[in-house]
Structure 1
Amino acid sequence: MSTLAQASLFAGRNLRRFFRAPPALVYAFAFPVLLLLTQYAVFGRIVGDGDRQHYLERLAPLVVLSTAAFGAPSSAVGFLRDLHGGLVDRLRTMPVRPGALLAGRVAGDVLRIVLIGLLTTSVAMLLGFRFRQGALAAVGFVAVIALFGLMWAAIALWRGSGPGDEQSLPPSLTGPATLLFIFSSGFVPVSAFPEVVQPVVRANPFSVATEALVGLSAGGPVLVPVLQTAAWVVGLGGICLLVALRRYARRTAP
């Protein structure tokens, strides 16, 4: 079998395990929906009726992106279990391509992120979120979600292949993800932050990806935010993936 075929099998395995775990399934789907509803109810009332729609246009993309970040801990734990649970040792005795397991896990994570993102978007549309830039822009919206998810899938591989156990992995990813979520332009306008941190907020991967999704849905700049998002994916995601590959190669070396 080719590497692509083997990776597809591993991706299907990861998705099946996800859908067969009711607690993880409920959390993965319920958390972003509850986050969207609570944030919109609280802050939508603060900004007032005149700005509620504008706030939703920015909040919904941010929450959709959060599904990638807050799902990374479970992905990291899953990869850790693969490495230490005997799966890798069994694969070494089989004609499995070295990168198939990693490629399959990344592909499965990205598909999961897109599915949850689409569900969250559907709930946001019930609240009034709309795509106003046409069908092609809506496809681009989904593509940016997948691109952002690719970065967090790589981060999960990096963390899952490193030191730590199942108890220490989730906090090490959830904490930074929460800070990035709060200090983003989707949560609060950049102008509301102190001037000293505004450049950091603008460069935040959550901020640039949110701006890309806002441009593709409600309207606004698209090219620059998409390129900035891609730069984060190639830079941070690429580094994490390379480190994970080296760690995996050392573990599977004869």
Structure 2
Amino acid sequence: MSTLTDAAPAPRAGGGIGGSVRDSLVVAKRNLIRMTRIPEMVIFGLIQPIMFVVLFSYVFGGSVNIGGTTDAGAYREFLMAGIFAQTVTFATAGAGAGIADDMHKGLIDRFRSLPMARGAVLTGRTLADLVQTTLTVVVLAIVALLVGWRIHNGLPKMLGAFALLLLLGYAFSWIGALIGLTVRTPEAATSGGLIWLFPVTFISNAFVNTSGMTPWLRHIAEWNPFSATVQACRKLFGNPGVVDSGAWPMQHPVWASLAWSLLIIVVFRTLAVRKYRSATA
């Protein structure tokens, strides 16, 4: 009678793309169930953007020149595209912290022992975060309507704008995934996920017109992926603040937003999946 000395390797997942999609949806469902059991995660995620809307609208409204006027209502309409974009990108920190927490608790190692696609763990996590971000954006849109924000270009363009916002949020969640796999603790992932987001969101056209910036800073802001999505949303919503500029992303913001988001997904998904394999090998 022989003694088993080495554990048999876990069977590899099959099914190609179909199997990978199925595994990703299973992981996404697991994360969504977890979110429902910790409702404070969703509640706190809703409170922050609502505070930004109210504070920016009533503190800066009336003091910022938008389209030749300092009318508070004009600034609220100008502001909302930036707040929407900031909200979907700030979800990056939560995505990174969640993955870092799973790594810290050894859950990722347990997933690795299962016969599932390697990229499914990260894809499922980012999809679950996308669902939570969608809920946040819906609530935020209702609050924005209450403070005076309006849509002027019809339903199809409005849906297109929100689709661009969610695509940008999904793209940035892969940056958060890479950060979560790189650091050692959830706290470090949260800090690391926010440090780089502040310059990205504030060196942009989100809260002020870039025309008032120094030339070199304006150039950075106009080629910022975040700015492209904000510009595209203002254009699709019909909100004020679409400033003429010679920069290609500002002239073609919808295409620039799509291109930036898809490029970020391709690059950072590749890096995150590679890091996941090496971190749990």
After TM superposition, the score normalised by the length of structure 1 is 0.90
Residues 49-76 of structure 1: CA distance to partner in whole angstroms, max 9, x if unpaired? Answer: 8532322222111111112222211211
In 1: Cα distance, 2:200 partner to 2:208 partner: 12
In 1: Cα distance, 2:188 partner to 2:110 partner: 26
Structure 2, gaps ≥5 residues long: 1-14, 244-249
Identity of aligned residues (%): 26
8 Å CA contact 2:172, 2:264 repeated in 1: no
Partner of 1:98: 118
Residues 157-216 of structure 1: CA distance to partner in whole angstroms, max 9, x if unpaired? Answer: 110111342222222221221222222212111112122211011112221111111111
8 Å CA contact 1:10, 1:104 repeated in 2: yes
Partner of 2:101: 81
Q: For 1:36, which of 40, 49, 53 is the aligned residue?
A: 53
Partner of 1:205: 225
Residues 125-167 of structure 1: CA distance to partner in whole angstroms, max 9, x if unpaired? Answer: 1112122111111110221111111111111111011134222
Instruction: Look up the SS of the partner of 1:161 in the other structure.
Output: helix
What is the Cα deviation at residue 114 of structure 1? 1.8
Q: Paired residues, what number?
A: 253
What is the Cα deviation at residue 252 of structure 1? 4.6
Q: Which moved more, 1:21-30 or 1:121-130?
A: 21-30
Partner of 2:21: 4
Indicate yes or no: 2:170 matched with 1:155. Answer: no
8 Å CA contact 2:99, 2:180 repeated in 1: yes
In 1: Cα distance, 2:106 partner to 2:195 partner: 30
Query: Could you say which structure has the higher helix fraction?
Result: 1
In 1: Cα distance, 2:232 partner to 2:266 partner: 20
In 2: Cα distance, 1:59 partner to 1:9 partner: 37
Partner of 2:6: none
Partner of 1:21: 38
Partner of 2:91: 71
8 Å CA contact 1:181, 1:206 repeated in 2: yes
8 Å CA contact 2:204, 2:226 repeated in 1: yes
**Aligned ranges for residues 1-254 of structure 1 at < 5 Å?**
2-47=19-64, 51-218=71-238, 224-253=252-281
8 Å CA contact 2:100, 2:184 repeated in 1: no
What is the Cα deviation at residue 245 of structure 1? 0.7
8 Å CA contact 1:114, 1:142 repeated in 2: no
Partner of 2:12: none
Instruction: Look up the SS of the partner of 1:45 in the other structure.
Output: coil
What is the Cα deviation at residue 123 of structure 1? 0.8
Residues 21-53 of structure 1: CA distance to partner in whole angstroms, max 9, x if unpaired? Answer: 243222200000101110010110313885323
Residues 81-129 of structure 1: CA distance to partner in whole angstroms, max 9, x if unpaired? Answer: 2223222222233222222111111211122212211211111111121
8 Å CA contact 2:49, 2:87 repeated in 1: yes
In 1: Cα distance, 2:78 partner to 2:266 partner: 28
8 Å CA contact 1:9, 1:104 repeated in 2: yes
Task: Describe the shift of the 1:91–1:47 C-alpha distance in structure 2 as closer, same or farther (beyond 3 A).
Answer: closer
One-letter amino acid of the structure 2 residue matched with residue 125 of structure 1: L
8 Å CA contact 1:61, 1:210 repeated in 2: yes
Instruction: Look up the SS of the partner of 1:128 in the other structure.
Output: coil
Instruction: Look up the SS of the partner of 2:183 in the other structure.
Output: coil
One-letter amino acid of the structure 2 residue matched with residue 225 of structure 1: P
8 Å CA contact 1:154, 1:238 repeated in 2: no
